[in-house]
């Protein structure tokens, strides 16, 4: 599923102002590869959900102008000028929704807010809840048991103690007979 795109899939994107992103430069650059888009951290995309896939393969590239300690990586979709995304509109859910993130905490998938992003303090909690609800109704409901199993290891590593819970994501589908949800 990872490379096949459904043209009719509604792909909610948080309306983070581009000028804020261009000033901050926190997104798309990573000192911890475990904080990069999930699709850049996996080789086998067979069961990877379409929502979390990208229009093309993503990988992390060293950022040569950054200090070497700690090393800094950038997403391969980041424009050559260091601004903007070359796959904007087709970028994966974990990019489109940031500073909202999907994590696996206390036995459930959850949407959380990263307070480190400057945009997270510019909007109200109800704003982020509305966008989490939009992701739930437009994309999460399409998740399969295989897709949940594919993203769970990433969602488990993604969580940080200071992330603020926004929404508990319900199991979107009934498990098939003999199949257990993650």
Establish if 13 belongs to a structural domain: no
Establish if 28 belongs to a structural domain: yes
Torsions phi, psi of 136, nearest 5? -60, -50
Domain range for 127 is: 18-169
Domain count along the chain: 1
Flag whether pLDDT at 111 surpasses 90: yes
By C-alpha distance, which of 29, 83, 76 is closest to 55? 76
- pTM equals 0.78
**Two structure tokens written together for 83:** 């601004």
Residue labelled with tokens 């480190």: 116
Mean pLDDT score of the chain, rounded to an integer?
A: 77
Dihedral over alpha carbons 170, 174, 178, 182 (to 10 degrees): -20
Express each pLDDT in 34-47 by its tens digit: 666 666 666 555 66
Establish if 9 belongs to a structural domain: no
Express each pLDDT in 51-87 by its tens digit: 777 777 788 887 776 666 677 778 888 877 767 788 8
CA separation for the pair 66, 62 (Å, rounded): 9
**Do residues 107 and 174 make contact, with C-beta atoms less than 8 angstroms apart?**
no
Establish if 115 belongs to a structural domain: yes
Establish if 111 belongs to a structural domain: yes
By C-alpha distance, which of 76, 90, 95 is closest to 35? 95
**Two structure tokens written together for 160:** 């940080």
Task: Tally Cβ neighbours within 10 Å of residue 11.
Answer: 18
Establish if 107 belongs to a structural domain: yes
Establish if 3 belongs to a structural domain: no
Establish if 5 belongs to a structural domain: no
């Amino acid at each position: 599923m990872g490379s096949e795109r459904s043209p009719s899939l509604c792909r909610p994107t948080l309306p983070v102002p581009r000028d804020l992103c261009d000033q901050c430069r926190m997104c798309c650059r990573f000192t911890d590869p475990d904080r990069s888009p999930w699709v850049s951290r996996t080789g086998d995309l067979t069961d990877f959900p379409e929502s979390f896939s990208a229009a093309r393969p993503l990988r992390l590239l060293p950022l040569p102008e950054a200090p070497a300690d700690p090393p800094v990586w950038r997403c391969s979709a980041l424009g050559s000028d260091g601004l903007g995304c070359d796959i904007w509109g087709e970028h994966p859910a974990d990019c489109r929704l940031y500073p909202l993130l999907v994590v696996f905490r206390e036995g459930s998938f959850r949407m959380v807010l990263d307070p480190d992003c400057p945009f997270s303090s510019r909007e109200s909690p109800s704003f982020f809840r509305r966008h989490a609800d939009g992701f739930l109704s437009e994309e999460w409901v399409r998740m399969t048991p295989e897709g949940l199993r594919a993203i769970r290891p990433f969602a488990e590593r993604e969580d940080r103690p200071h992330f603020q819970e926004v929404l508990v994501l319900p199991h979107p589908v009934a498990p098939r007979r003999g199949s257990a949800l993650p």
